[in-house]
Amino acid sequence: MDHAALQHLAQQQWWIPLFPLVAAAIQSLLPRGQRKLSAGLCIVAMGVSCVLALRALLATLGTGHHEVERVFFNFTWFHFGTTQLDMGLILDPLTAAMAAMVSFVGFWIFVNATGYMADDDNFTRFFCFLSLFAASMLGLVISNNLLLLFMCWELVGLCSYLLIGFWYFKPAAAAAMKKAFITTRIGDVGFFLGILMLYYKTGTLNMYTADGNGALQQAGALAHVAGWWGLSAASTIAFLLFIGAMGKSAQFPLHVWLPDAMEGPTPVSALIHAATMVAAGVFMVGRMYPLFTAEPGSWVMDFVMWIGCFTAVFSATIAVAQFDIKRVLAYSTCSQLGFMVMGLGAGSLVAGQFHLLTHAFFKALLFLGSGCVIIGTHHEQDMRKMGGLKKYMPITFWCYLIGMLALSGVPPFAGFFSKDEILLETFRRSKAAWGLATFAAFLTAFYMTRQMFMVFAGKWRGGDQDHGDGHDKHDDHGHGHHGGEPHEVPWNMWLPIAVLSVFAIGLGFFSHNYGLYLGVEGGEAAEGKAIVMGASLTVVALGLLFGWLIYGRKTMEHATDEDPLAAMGALFTFLNRKWYIDEFYEATVFRFTAVCAVFFRLFDKLVVDGILHAIAWVAWAISQMFRWLGDEFFINGGFDSGCETVRLGGKTLATLQSGRVQNYFRVLSLGAAILLLIYFFT
Amino acid sequence: MRSWFANAPDSILLWVSIAVPILFIVSVFPGIFAYTTLVERKALGRIQNRLGPNRVGRWGILQPIADGLKLLTKEDIVPRRADAFVHFLAPVLAVIPSVLLFAVVPIGLGLVPVDLNIGILFAFAISTASVLALFMGGWASRNKFSLLGAMRAVAQVVSYEVPMVLSAVAVVMAVGSLSTLAIAKAQSGGFLNVTRWFVFRPWGLVGFVLFTIGAMAESARTPFDIPEAESEIIAGYHTEYSGFKFALFQLGEYLASIAMAGITVTMFLGGYNGPGSGPGIFGGLISMFWFFLKLACMIVLNIWIRGTWPRVRVDQLMGFAWKLLLPMAIVNIIGVGFWHYITIRPLAWVVTTLWLVIWFMVLTKLAATENVAPRTYRYAS
Amino acid sequence: MNIPLDHYLMLSAFLFAIGLCGALARKNAIIVLMGIEIMFNAGILNLIVFWHYRYFASVTAQMFAIFAISIAAAESAIGLALVIAVYRHYKSVTLDEMTSLKG
Amino acid sequence: MELIFWILSAITVLGAILAITLRNLIHCVLSLILFFLGIAGHYFLLRADFIAAVQILIYIGAVAVLMLFAIMLTRHVTGDEGPREVLGGKWWAGMGTAVIIAGLLWAIIRKDSLAQTLPAGTAATSVAEIGKALVANWVVPFEAMAVLLTAALIGAVVIALEEVIRKR
């Protein structure tokens, strides 16, 4: 495709988010009974978006040049006095691939959701939010302007808030929605600071402009401008932006919201974990990559890598000890996001972004699969009460198996290639990080095997009585009948996972092409390739083996059985309670706030009130003293009135806080008058 | 004649140019008011199958004068505990805004007392002020029914003000000016000076209907006369008025109604435009003829509606304004936008008409109140 | 028209002072709100006066006046709603009787 | 013209003074309307026609009516027994401050060289210009105002409704 045609296509990019957006707008007005219309509208809109995104993808694929074809279209949004605010759309390989992925995966998630939510009363509301969610993510992907990106970013946050708390009548869901919103908001502060600083330093929020003065085009120049903390401006901005990405993509200190987000309906989890919310952070880092790499040798890249690495290992360990089927997947998402971030930090845009794409497919597959399992077992989420589902749900089983193998990194599934690429890049950058990441890969294989055996192998344990463990968070909406035989799900639920599993198998083979497509040279250096590949193959094999040894040879008999790993004792509890991170926050941040509150209350009570009371008390004490010392008959009256005067003084002081609006106003205007006097006589 | 004017000193010209319109307004429109009452009584009589006034003069033609004399000579009663000053002020203030309204009504080609560049806005601003007179009258009488009537009047006028102004916005958008003269001018031309009247546009028709309803409600005419509903609150805010003060209230109300009719004519019915209107003395006279003819038609329309429609309930009144008229006025504004931006006329016709019709159907369906329980008649069943 | 600028400024200063006096000295909440409205109006009058005498070609002052009037309208709506709410609670609109925040 | 200015000023000041001194609240509001009218007249005199119309429309048509309603809703409907004590306890503070501010403003006006400025050009700003400015360069404040008014509308309703909801 020639440049002019691409340019035209870039101008038309806004159609992609428009369709889901319009669908959401229409659905917000639909009556609750219009379930078919609502779902149909949503799916059709998403399908159209998907077609458009694929067309853009094909167009960028067809360029065939070796250098990156990047077209953008900027326009003025509005004037603000003398300054103006711009908006921009972009079409480059990064955007095109991402938009195609989001719309495609989103489309199938929507299809699956029609089955998952079939019994819910608020079906139309759900699809309205879902559509808006997809629209804002697509808007984020196509924006060539940080302001637009930030707006869509916040919209994504809002939609996740609404969807996580979709069953807001459940206290856990209501808490989770708030947690997600507030935690990501902490990161957003950093992001916003980064945007402000970028605007301050470059004077524009457009990433690329035709005259070469876009924010990212100036990254090289920014590397020579001083920033904060001894960094260059570029690195400082990159650091601040990365804080935003940490919140959104659930990196270590700010990861706490992601597992709790499981309180939302499962399609939402799939959407959040695969295509939209968490992808936004990694995508943003990828989009802003020139800023990250502008200053060679700054610690920001190392910081990014180590955060990613730590998150990868840390969440993988937690995932080992969870019993909730979705929670295992949630921590695995955290871990995989850690891999992506680590890849980006290690200096490879291609590795991080490619893993984002492949991961989106198989994680969506896994989540939708777990949704199928949950529906098939009548809203059961505790893996201990499953088992033997292979017999009852064969299609789900095979698709889930593919997803699991892809996530574990078994060749030739997609996860193997993308993860391997990340490990290779990390190996070049830091051997220690590589070692940890390989350990995380081992854990990944292990906990996925564990999950497979617990859910699909052995015999059906759902008939057992509840054992009140506290882990079972049933969805007690709709028909909450437990204990029936599991059954296969309807076609609109298994078809999406079947389609996605095709991609989970095949997508990995394009890793090399993707690198070329993004216009990044290299990736062919053989140094360490054999070691890395050998190591990762070994650990994956080990992971599968251990998984089989511990969970496969002898499957659980009863839902009340101890987990074999529980033999590890305190360590297992430690992992099961997620390293006590929530408790840690509870003990530090919340406690700190509470202590502050108590302190200030005491301050108010002791110091402010105390001074007044002290005045009165001293006066009272003095008067008492004199009463004892002096002759009550002679000087009683005099001292009484003296005390009275002092007490009145205290009272007078208290009346400053009279609670009368007008008194405050009077003082205010008196102050104004004094200011005027000063102005007038000087 | 002309040369005499030309030679006259400037100050005299100034005063004459100020005095003539004022004299015209003060003399002609109260006359129209007087005979409107007569026509109204006659027409209502005809509708109710009776004769109406026919004793004073031939066909009762002197009836208004007799009425005026009667009211002038009647005893002026002020309730003992009333707020005498406000009680006195209210009827006076009721007339002033109504007269001021005529300042921006063009009664012929170029014949407008003041060509303000904010003409329409001025009209709305002034007409809002009239509600204060009603309120003052109701409050100062120190009578429950007066006060209730006043409160009803205020609520009603404030509610109907909104759709009325918004339906006028459509016209203002189409013309691009707030001046009444410019609005009238924009409707000249076309076949026989008729086809470009705004009422012959889809949005104009909707605007006309909305505006007429709003104007009727604003001057508290039946079917929107709940502020003075006899069966409920005696006579509303003018329960305690008699004699000439009562006459002033009536005068103000009718003048406002006539002025609003004049503005309706100007905005939607082509103003002074009609076959034969144009520049020059003759064309100007014809233009005046058309204006007053249309004004008469609007007045008759008002009377006709009054004679044939039952009074609405309070909740119906408010629901009608906020649920149907207001959204319809907003939809109409968007319709004008379509009209403006679609340059292919037939397409614009189709799109605008469809837009308005569809929304009208949707809104009428949404605004329908079906949850009102059927009325029970305790002693009549 | 040859009225000096300072006539207008003095007028608006007077009005401002009158409004301030009303807002400070009267006990009735509604009158206090009225006093505030008077002060608002005095300020807006200043905007228009300076526009007329100094920046006649610019549209900025009128913009400010429009926005100030809108804000004043919003403020009085909220204020009066508060007065009504307070009245429901205390059965009074006398400001001196509302001393819940007394320290 | 000067005569008109003096008449208008007298009306305005009179209205303002009456508005804050009368005992009867309704009379206060009526005087306030007089004051608003005077201000609108000043705007006409200063050739800000649009602002004058807006002043009448908003202040007299909306704010004053709102105040009348507020008075009606916060008193016994027909009985208008005046407040027992018109002035607040610290009335002298208010008076003193107001007088100081008035004097100072006066002095500042005398001090600055504003006295002999003559009116500027004659071309009035047309309504069309104002409209265009509102939706072009001033669109952000305009939209912000829209949001503010909506928020105020909802807020006012919520505040005034609160007790009713609680009773249910």
The DSSP secondary structure of A105-150, one letter per residue, reads HHHHHHHHHHHHTTT-TTHHHHHHHHHHHHHHHHHHHHB-BHHHHH
**pLDDT tens for residues A260-284?**
778 788 888 888 887 778 888 888 8
DSSP code, position A252: G
- Flag if D77 and B177 touch (Cβ within 8 Å): no
**pLDDT tens for residues D51-97?**
888 888 888 888 888 888 888 777 654 344 445 445 555 556 566 66
Average pLDDT in the A276-301 region? 83
Average pLDDT in the A523-548 region? 74
- Flag if A672 and D101 touch (Cβ within 8 Å): yes
H-run or E-run covering A447: helix A431-456
SS3 C94: strand
Is residue B144 located within the same domain as residue B39?
no
Residue indicated by tokens 């009425």: B67
Which chain A residue lies closest to C96 (C-alpha atoms)?
Answer: A660
Residue A480 reports pLDDT greater than 60:
no
Interface test with D, best of B132, B145, B322 (most D CBs within 10 A): B132
SS3 A324: strand
Residue D123 pLDDT: 57
The first and second tokens of residue C54, run together, are 């100094």
Residue B208 pLDDT: 92
Residue A571 pLDDT: 65
- Flag if D140 and A78 touch (Cβ within 8 Å): yes
- Closest partner CB to C99 (pick from A656, A660, A669): A660
Quick check: is D115 in a domain?
Answer: no
- Round the average pLDDT of chain A to a whole number and report it: 78
Q: What is the ipTM of this complex?
A: 0.67
Is residue D138 located within the same domain as residue D76?
no
The first and second tokens of residue B155, run together, are 């609520």
User: Roughly how many angstroms between the first and final C-alpha of chain C, as a whole number?
Assistant: 55
Residue A577 reports pLDDT greater than 80:
no
Residues making up chain A, counted from first to last: 682
The first and second tokens of residue A556, run together, are 């659980």
DSSP A346-364: TT-HHHHHHHHHHHHHHHH
Query: Chain A contacts of D112, Cβ < 8 Å?
Result: none
Alpha-helical regions (H) of chain D = 2-21, 25-45, 49-55, 65-73, 91-111, 127-135, 139-167
**Among A366, A435, A450, which residue's Cα sits nearest to residue A402?**
A366
The first and second tokens of residue A126, run together, are 């759900």
**Among B212, B210, B184, which residue's Cα sits nearest to residue B299?**
B212
Quick check: is B103 in a domain?
Answer: yes
**Among A231, A370, C63, C15, which residue's Cα sits nearest to residue D50?**
C63
Query: Does A412 sit behind a cis peptide bond, omega within 30 degrees of 0 on the bond before it?
Result: yes
Say if CB D120 and CB C52 are below 8 A apart. Answer: yes
Query: Chain A contacts of D111, Cβ < 8 Å?
Result: 680
Average pLDDT in the A293-320 region? 83
Residue A476 pLDDT: 43
CB neighbours of B9 closer than 8 A, spacing ≥ 6? none
Q: Of B36, B54, B73, which one is at a domain's C-terminal end?
A: B73
Residue D77 pLDDT: 40
Query: Chain A contacts of C103, Cβ < 8 Å?
Result: 654, 656-659
- Flag if A670 and D93 touch (Cβ within 8 Å): yes
Is residue B132 located within the same domain as residue B273?
yes
Minimal Cα–Cα distance from C47 to chain D, Å? 11
Say if CB A650 and CB A616 are below 8 A apart. Answer: yes
Residue D38 pLDDT: 92
Is residue B328 located within the same domain as residue B340?
yes
Is residue B292 located within the same domain as residue B178?
yes
The first and second tokens of residue A315, run together, are 């969440």
CB neighbours of D155 closer than 8 A, spacing ≥ 6? C78, C81
Which chain A residue lies closest to C33 (C-alpha atoms)?
Answer: A662
Tell me the backbone φ, ψ of residue A79, rounded to 5 degrees: -90, 145
**pLDDT tens for residues A651-678?**
777 666 666 777 777 777 778 778 877 7
Minimal Cα–Cα distance from D130 to chain A, Å? 15
Q: Of D44, D64, D80, which one is at a domain's C-terminal end?
A: D80
Residue D168 pLDDT: 47
Is residue B347 located within the same domain as residue B204?
yes
- Closest partner CB to D19 (pick from C2, C16, C38): C38
Residue indicated by tokens 């009463």: A627
CA distance A131 to A20: 5
Quick check: is D66 in a domain?
Answer: yes
CA distance D67 to D70: 5
Interface test with C, best of D22, D34, D39 (most C CBs within 10 A): D39
CA distance B134 to B153: 7
- Flag if D88 and C85 touch (Cβ within 8 Å): no
- Residue D37: give the domain boundaries: 1-80
Whole-angstrom CA distances from A257 to A102, A177, A247, B159 are 22, 8, 9, 48
Res. A519 pLDDT band, cuts 50 70 90 = low
| Residue A207 vs residue D15, higher pLDDT | D15
Residue D35 reports pLDDT greater than 90:
yes
- Flag if D56 and B129 touch (Cβ within 8 Å): yes
Q: Is B175 touching D (CB cutoff 8 A)?
A: no
Instruction: Using alpha carbons only, give the angle C60, B182, B281 rounded to the nearest 5 degrees.
Output: 140
**pLDDT tens for residues C49-69?**
888 877 777 788 888 888 999
Is residue B284 located within the same domain as residue B272?
yes
Average pLDDT in the D26-47 region? 88
Say if CB A404 and CB A444 are below 8 A apart. Answer: no
* β-sheet bridge partners, residue A86: A76
* Rg of chain D in Å (alpha carbons): 21
CA distance C73 to D54: 11
Tell me the backbone φ, ψ of residue A102, rounded to 5 degrees: -60, -45
Tell me the backbone φ, ψ of residue A225, rounded to 5 degrees: -100, 140
| Residue B310 vs residue A555, higher pLDDT | B310
SS3 A317: helix
Q: Chain D neighbours among B 120-149 (CB < 8 Å)? A: 121-122, 124-126, 128-129, 131-132, 135-136, 139, 142-144, 147
Q: Chain C neighbours among D 38-67 (CB < 8 Å)? A: 39, 42-43, 45-48, 50-51, 54-55, 58-59, 62-63, 66-67
- Flag if D56 and B126 touch (Cβ within 8 Å): yes
CA distance B62 to B150: 33
Which chain A residue lies closest to C22 (C-alpha atoms)?
Answer: A662
Minimal Cα–Cα distance from D78 to chain B, Å? 6
Instruction: Say what angle helices D65-73 and D25-45 make with each other, to 10 degrees.
Output: 170
The dihedral built from the CA positions of residue A452, A457, A461 and A467, taken in this order, carries a sign that is negative
CA distance A303 to A476: 43
Quick check: is D103 in a domain?
Answer: no
**Among A131, A172, A141, A137, which residue's Cα sits nearest to residue A157?**
A137
Average pLDDT in the D35-55 region? 87
> How many domains does chain D contain in total?
2
Which chain D residue lies closest to A678 (C-alpha atoms)?
Answer: D104
Burial class, B380, CB count within 10 angstroms (exposed 0-12 / middle 13-18 / buried 19+): exposed
Quick check: is D168 in a domain?
Answer: yes
Residue D12 pLDDT: 92
Residues making up chain C, counted from first to last: 103
Quick check: is D97 in a domain?
Answer: no
Quick check: is B375 in a domain?
Answer: no
Quick check: is B5 in a domain?
Answer: no
**Among A147, A145, A95, A112, which residue's Cα sits nearest to residue A42?**
A112
Burial class, A119, CB count within 10 angstroms (exposed 0-12 / middle 13-18 / buried 19+): middle
- Flag if C23 and A657 touch (Cβ within 8 Å): no
Is residue B86 located within the same domain as residue B68?
no
* β-sheet bridge partners, residue A88: A74
Whole-angstrom CA distances from B259 to A90, A601, D2 are 58, 66, 32
Query: Chain A contacts of D104, Cβ < 8 Å?
Result: 673, 676-677, 680
Residue B194 pLDDT: 80
Say if CB A287 and CB A279 are below 8 A apart. Answer: no
CATH code: domain of residue D18:
1.20.120.1200
Chains that touch B (3 or more CB pairs under 8 A): D
**pLDDT tens for residues A211-246?**
777 777 777 777 777 777 777 888 888 888 888 888
- Flag if C59 and D98 touch (Cβ within 8 Å): no
Q: Is D60 touching B (CB cutoff 8 A)?
A: yes
Q: Is D167 touching C (CB cutoff 8 A)?
A: no
Is residue B254 located within the same domain as residue B304?
yes
Residue A473 pLDDT: 44
Whole-angstrom CA distances from B141 to A482, B149, B254, D82 are 73, 11, 22, 17
CA distance B222 to B310: 8
Domains with residue ranges and CATH for chain C: 5-93 (1.10.287.3510)
Res. A632 pLDDT band, cuts 50 70 90 = low
Give the type of residue at A550.
I
pTM of the predicted model as reported, rounded to 2 decimal places: 0.61
Say if CB A438 and CB A340 are below 8 A apart. Answer: no
Is residue B186 located within the same domain as residue B321?
yes
Average pLDDT in the B102-126 region? 82
- Residue B298: give the domain boundaries: 77-366
Minimal Cα–Cα distance from A419 to chain D, Å? 47
Minimal Cα–Cα distance from D3 to chain A, Å? 32
Query: Chain A contacts of D100, Cβ < 8 Å?
Result: 673, 676-677
CA distance A356 to B118: 61
Average pLDDT in the A453-465 region? 71
A and B adjacent (3 or more CB pairs under 8 angstroms):
no
DSSP code, position B109: T
CB neighbours of B184 closer than 8 A, spacing ≥ 6? B106, B266, B270, B271, B272, B273
Quick check: is B8 in a domain?
Answer: no
Quick check: is D35 in a domain?
Answer: yes
Say if CB A266 and CB A199 are below 8 A apart. Answer: no
**Among D131, D33, D24, which residue's Cα sits nearest to residue D71?**
D24
The first and second tokens of residue A622, run together, are 């003095």
Average pLDDT in the B107-132 region? 81
- Closest partner CB to D57 (pick from B128, B132, B177): B128
CA distance A364 to A503: 11
| Residue A629 vs residue A337, higher pLDDT | A337
Tell me the backbone φ, ψ of residue B197, rounded to 5 degrees: -60, 145
**Among C5, A486, A440, which residue's Cα sits nearest to residue D120?**
C5
Quick check: is D49 in a domain?
Answer: yes
The first and second tokens of residue D17, run together, are 């003074």
Q: Is D61 touching B (CB cutoff 8 A)?
A: yes
Interface test with D, best of A670, A675, A682 (most D CBs within 10 A): A670
Other beta carbons less than 10 A from residue C92's beta carbon? 16
Is residue B127 located within the same domain as residue B69?
no
B/e letters for B226-243, b = 16+ CB within 10 Å, e = fewer, are: bbbbeeebbbbbbbbbee
Quick check: is B205 in a domain?
Answer: yes
Average pLDDT in the D1-15 region? 87
Residues making up chain B, counted from first to last: 381
**pLDDT tens for residues B197-224?**
888 888 889 999 999 998 888 887 778 8
Least confident of A208-217, B286-295, D32-41: A208-217
Res. C41 pLDDT band, cuts 50 70 90 = very high
Query: How many contacts (CB atoms, under 8 Å) link A and C?
Result: 33
Quick check: is D41 in a domain?
Answer: yes
Residue A512 pLDDT: 66
Which chain C residue lies closest to A652 (C-alpha atoms)?
Answer: C103
B and D adjacent (3 or more CB pairs under 8 angstroms):
yes
- Flag if A669 and C20 touch (Cβ within 8 Å): yes
Say if CB B95 and CB B30 are below 8 A apart. Answer: no
Is residue B69 located within the same domain as residue B83?
no
Is residue B114 located within the same domain as residue B258?
yes
Tell me the backbone φ, ψ of residue C28, rounded to 5 degrees: -80, 130
